Amino acid sequence: MRDEVNEVLAAHLTPTPRVPEGRAIGATGAATAMIDLSDGLASDVGHICELSNVGVWVEAARLPIAPATRRVAEALGRDPVAFALFGGEDYELLLTAPADRVGELVAAVGQTGTPLADIGAITPATAGCTLLLADGRTVPLEPGGWDHFRR
C-alpha cells in the first residue's frame, strides 16, 4: 500500500503539466473548450458549462481513475469517483469537442503517450449538469473541489 500512497501523493504534489497533450489537441483544431482540472472535475466542468451556456452528462464508470487511486480510496473507505470529481491539483486537461472528432483527438493525444478518455457529452443548458452513477442512477453533478473565492 505504501507504493500506492506514494504514487497518489506524487500525482497530487508534483503534477505533470500536459503541455505536449495540449499542443496535440490544439493542432487538431477540434476542441471547442478546454480547461485544466486544478479545482476538480465537478467544479471545472461547471465552469465550461456556465461560460458556454451548456449542460453536461458525465458517466462515472468512464472516469479514468488510476488503479493506485482506487486502492488508496478503498483503504480509506472513500469513493474513488469522489476523488476524481472533487480532487484537484493534478492539472489534467478537460476538453469538449464535436462527437465526430473524438476519435481524431484520442489518436492525436495518444501519440504523446497519454490516453484520452471520453467521459460524457455536452447537453443543452436546460438539462443541467448530470452524473450517471455506475448503478444506473443519475444525480446532479454539483460543483465541489477547490473554490478560490470561498471564505
Is residue 22 within 8 A of residue 119, CB to CB? The reply is no
Low-confidence ranges of the chain (pLDDT < 70): 144-151
Domain of residue 111: give its range: 2-52+64-117
Assess if residue 146 is contained within a domain. Answer: no
Assess if residue 99 is contained within a domain. Answer: yes
Q: From residue 135, how far is each of 23, 59, 60, 81 by CA, in Å?
A: 36, 11, 10, 13
**Closest by CA position to 63, among listed 118, 24, 12, 26:** 118
Single-letter amino acid code for the residue at 138: T
pLDDT of 139: 97
Assess if residue 42 is contained within a domain. Answer: yes
Half-sphere exposure at residue 81, Cβ-oriented, CA atoms within 13 angstroms: 13
pTM: 0.88
Q: Tell me how many domains the chain contains.
A: 1
- Give dist(CA 114, CA 30) in Å, integer: 18
Assess if residue 145 is contained within a domain. Answer: no
